[in-house]
Amino acid sequence: MKQHLTHPLNVRWARSADLALVARLCEKWNAERLYEVFWEYARLNARVLRQRGASSWLCFEDQRLSGFALGRGAEGAFVLEEAWAPFEGTFGGSTAISGRDQARADAFRLQVLAGIKERPLLMRGAIDNHFVHGIARTLKLPWFNGLVLAERALSTTKAVTVPPGFALRPFKFGDEEFFSSLYSEVYQEQVSHKAFKDWAKKQSCRTIVATRVTGSFVGFIIAEKRHYGSVGDFAIAVTPRFQRMGVGGALLDAGLNALRELGATRAIADYRTSNGATHALYGGRGFKPVRVYNFFSVG
């Protein structure tokens, strides 16, 4: 009997400047599920990708378009936020990898990952993204962290209870320096003073600052009504020594009320899977997790 040989798979990843195509592929592969890409939750387009300094790749298997990758560098690091392509393996307790999947992993490693010079380099994938998790398993990439996307309806205004010794006030010019410093301390991410100033004063935003009654800074929230649908989200941070004292809850309640006043009917929160206090804060205010991402460290 003649033996049938498996056709070898020809996989090629190539840099792409066609950001409109990459945006459409991102929407397609996410299949109308809630996503977070470059701080956007819907209607990804070439303009957004260009503004955020996106780098993108297209995947071809046997010369047919089969996937894409999308990421960006910032402050000396690089995150591949989206990568979708075929991957057939189901791992479970088995570590066996097919020749076709090994070809896919080798191509991604050599043609995408090896070409990114920034370090640290992280790769992110939603838990329903079989390609990213297959690549991470095949290349033995360690888990780094996780991100939860949660949402809740904004149907009623909530009373805001500020703990004794603290106060809330609107944003004033000059606060942005505190915002930038605190955000870096809490999230280990750099956002410039100017970016915070421009963000805080947008017409679609309401910015609230928490202070001690003596006037010293404690925390802030920027609540933003997005341009698509009736979605709102927010950035919130509290000085570590004042966390778990009710300040974060007061800021969040005030921010959610502000979103409702801006016309939002649904709020989205994103937070790290390893942050138990944040899980409790959002869960206690009706947020329900709808999607989870894993980050893997490439090097």
Cis peptide before 120 (omega within 30 of 0): yes
The two domains 11-147 and 156-264 share their CATH topology (first three levels equal): yes
Q: How far is CA 10 from the centre of its chain?
A: 32
Q: Is the pLDDT of residue 95 over 80?
A: no
Q: Is the pLDDT of residue 8 over 90?
A: no
Higher pLDDT, 14 or 1: 14
Q: So what's the pLDDT on residue 274?
A: 84
173: confidence class by pLDDT, cuts 50, 70, 90? very high
Q: Is the pLDDT of residue 123 over 50?
A: yes
Tell me the pLDDT tens digit for each residue of 207-260.
999 999 999 999 999 999 999 989 999 999 999 999 999 999 999 999 999 999
Long-range CB contacts for residues 159-164, cutoff 8 Å, separation at least 24: 159/253, 160/250, 160/253, 160/254, 160/257, 161/246, 161/249, 161/250, 161/253, 162/246, 162/247, 162/250, 163/245, 163/246, 163/247, 163/250
- pTM for this prediction: 0.90
Whether domain 156-264 has CATH 3.30.160.100: no
For residues 93-108, give the mean pLDDT.
87
CATH code of the domain made up of 11-147:
3.40.630.30
Q: Is the pLDDT of residue 93 over 60?
A: no
What's the distance, Cα to Cα, between the start and end of the chain in Å?
48
Q: So what's the pLDDT on residue 75?
A: 74
Domain ranges of the chain: 11-147, 156-264
71: confidence class by pLDDT, cuts 50, 70, 90? very high
Lowest-confidence range among 87-91, 196-200, 211-215? 87-91
